Amino acid sequence: MGELVAEELNEQEDMTLVAGVESPGHAAIGSAMGNAPVIADSSEFPEADVWVDFSLAGTASDHIRLAATISKPVVVAVTGFDDNALRKIGIFAESCPVLIAPNLSVGMGVMDRLVGDTVRLLGDQFDPTLSELHHSTKQDSPSGTALWLAEQVETEGKSVQITSQRAGGAVGEHQMRFVGRDEELVITHRAFSRQAFSRGVPRAVRFILNKKPGLYSIRDMYGGG
């Protein structure tokens, strides 16, 4: 994802990638990511306007804590945070703007809004179910995106059953089914490549750059909040 994000940012006229960050001892340290150097996570980070994190939940939590100490805006494209980690992130967000983005794809940003509107329009005559498919090495189940979509349903007072599958190299698929007595409505988002996620990074950076400290979601970004 780091390489894909670097490619995406290098295509933007209004932003420049300052550095890539890898775990200490990683073979890529000292090499280049696009036009930027790859540095160790233990190093002092160079000056930048926004941090973008595509790591893992534990590492991302450490980065958010560090960002809070210097009031640095941060985009966190990571899933798998437990309740305790989310509580701590909420505290860190009092000192810096934090965008939690389990899925940065444009299509998913639209699907999230469609799901909310559909629940409201269909009411109690249809039962929602959600299935998701990811690659076999994905650690969290259900995915952060699935939980995010389920939250849209639950906000409207409905419960939703989530089915998770992990198989092969599947990039990511989320399917929301609204099943009625005589018909059903299906909304599906399917990512063909990981570039679907990296393409949303520039928009996320622009969104969070001048925000006040606080915890933000992709729903805020696509909803204009």
Is the CB of residue 15 less than 8 Å from the CB of residue 48? no
Which residues lie across from 97 on neighbouring strands?
Answer: 214
CB 38 within 8 A of CB 28: yes
Phi, psi of 111 (to 5 degrees): -60, -40
Catalytic-role residue among 134, 158, 174, 189: 134
Per the listing, tokens 């966190």 go with 76
Which tokens go with 172?
A: 């990511």
Q: Cα-flanking dihedrals φ and ψ of residue 5, to 5°?
A: -65, -40
Active-site residue, 212 included: no
Measure the CA–CA gap between 66 and 88, rounded to whole angstroms: 12
For 13, 65, 75, 103, the CA distances from 143, given in Å and listed in that order, are: 33, 23, 18, 10
The two tokens of residue 59 are 């590492």
**Which residue bears the tokens 């990811």?**
134
> For this structure, is 88 an active site residue?
no
Catalytic entry in 63, 88, 135, 138: 138
| Residue for token pair 């985009």 | 75
What does residue 166 show for φ and ψ, rounded to 5 degrees? Answer: -130, 115
Catalytic residues: 134, 138
